[in-house]
Amino acid sequence: MEVIVCATAEEGSDLAAKEVLGALSRKPDLVLGLATGSTPLGLYRRMIDAHRRVEADFSKVFTFNLDEYLGLPPGHPQSYRAFMDQHLFRHINIPPDHIHFPPTHGRDVPAQCEEFERDMRRVGGIDIQILGIGADGHIGFNEPTSSLGSRTRVKTLMEETLRDNARFFNDGTRQPDMAVTMGIGTILESKRILLLAFGTTKVRAIQSTIEGPISNMYPASALQLHPRVTMIVDEQAAAGLAMREYYKRVYRNKLSLEGSVMP
Ligand code: GLP
């Protein structure tokens, strides 16, 4: 696992944006896996800014979002679809039929989940998957005890996750306690994964993900099995890492090998 400890969330978002925009310039039909939550907002702002500066064209890009609540009416302001429209899609030029979400309506959701994964394969699979992380170590909505080989499916949310997200449902809407999420097996098939974590609430999850054993009790720890994961964390989220100074030295060495800075 590559671990990059940044001074601030802003610096972390800069790095993530550099990765995504660099990949887009090399592959205009980039397939992006996208996450909701406050963590990737800095990255999305930078993607929007690049588009406004006419430096980034998303017209051939495909996107697949990680998860969506089950039981919210379509277009509900607290749906993840509405979140993505507000914070990214309406500001850039991804064609609407290139945007994919896990299915949450209609008949036979499990069959639609298989179709969602088929759509992913049809465009060549996810090139870069963006991830945040829940305080309990979940990725997408793969809560503790999720199978590490799981595929897109319905999950019941943990109490801690419901509490963390309750603030979004103080408008009287009943907070859904189920969601449809890409599985851990689905996520592990992405060619490249960028996990972002900022702030003190992520200390335990980040320590377990990077330095703990692979365990379904910390679903993100399954990322240790993936050959191209970069964890972009700020100093606050990195506070529990025993080998923090080592990761910094590894990263400095990588930059010096690339000729960016002198060793
Ligand atoms: C939700 C989402 C996750 C996200 C997590 C953290 O549970 N399903 O994909 O990573 O929230 O959110 P935040 O970035 O706001 O801390």
Q: What is the pLDDT of residues 207-253, one digit of tens each?
A: 999 999 999 999 999 999 999 999 999 999 999 999 999 999 999 99
- Its domain, for residue 15, covers 2-259
pLDDT for residue 260 is more than 70: no
SS3 category, 194: strand
* Residues whose CB falls within 8 Å of the CB of residue 171, separated by 6 or more in sequence, listed in order: 77, 78
CATH of the domain at 61: 3.40.50.1360
* 178 C-alpha to ligand 1 centroid (Å): 14
Q: Which of 68, 117, 127, 143 is catalytic?
A: 143
Q: What value, to the nearest 5°, has the Cα angle with vertex 192 and ends 188 and 198? A: 90
Question: The tokens of 259 are what?
Answer: 């000729």
Per-position DSSP letters for 106-146, written without gaps between them: SS-HHHHHHHHHHHHHHTTS-SEEEE---TTS-BTTB-TT-
Q: Ligand 1 within 6 A of 35 CB?
A: yes
Amino acid identity, position 129: Q
The confidence score (pLDDT) of residue 261 equals 56
Question: The tokens of 255 are what?
Answer: 């930059």
Residue nearest to atom 13 of ligand 1 (CA): 37
pLDDT for residue 262 is more than 60: no
SS3 category, 253: helix
Q: Ligand 1 within 6 A of 140 CB?
A: yes
pLDDT for residue 263 is more than 80: no
Q: Is-contact 131 195, C-beta < 8 A?
A: yes
Q: Which of 68, 117, 127, 136 is catalytic?
A: 136
As for how many domains the chain has, the answer is 1
pTM: 0.96
pLDDT for residue 175 is more than 70: yes
**What is d(CA 252, CA 187) in angstroms, rounded to the nearest whole number?**
28
* 134 C-alpha to ligand 1 centroid (Å): 5
pLDDT for residue 51 is more than 70: yes
Q: Is-contact 243 211, C-beta < 8 A?
A: yes
Residue 42 main-chain phi, psi, to 5 deg: -65, -40
Q: What is the mean pLDDT of residues 113-125?
A: 98
The confidence score (pLDDT) of residue 67 equals 97
Q: For a pLDDT cut of 90, what percent of the chain falls above it? A: 89
In the residue annotation, 143 being an active-site residue is answered as: yes
Q: Which of 67, 68, 117, 127 is catalytic?
A: 67
In the residue annotation, 68 being an active-site residue is answered as: no
Cα 115 to Cα 31, 75, 108: the distances in Å are 17, 21, 11
Using N-to-C axis directions, what is the helix angle for 41-52 and 9-26, rounded to 10°?
Answer: 50
Residue nearest to atom 5 of ligand 1 (CA): 134
Q: What is the mean pLDDT of residues 104-110?
A: 93
Q: Ligand 1 within 6 A of 37 CB?
A: yes
SS3 category, 215: strand
pLDDT tens digits, residue range 190-208? 999 999 999 999 999 999 9
**What is d(CA 28, CA 147) in angstroms, rounded to the nearest whole number?**
34
pLDDT tens digits, residue range 86-102? 999 999 999 999 999 99
User: What is the atom index within ligand 1 of the atom nearest the CA of 132?
Assistant: 10
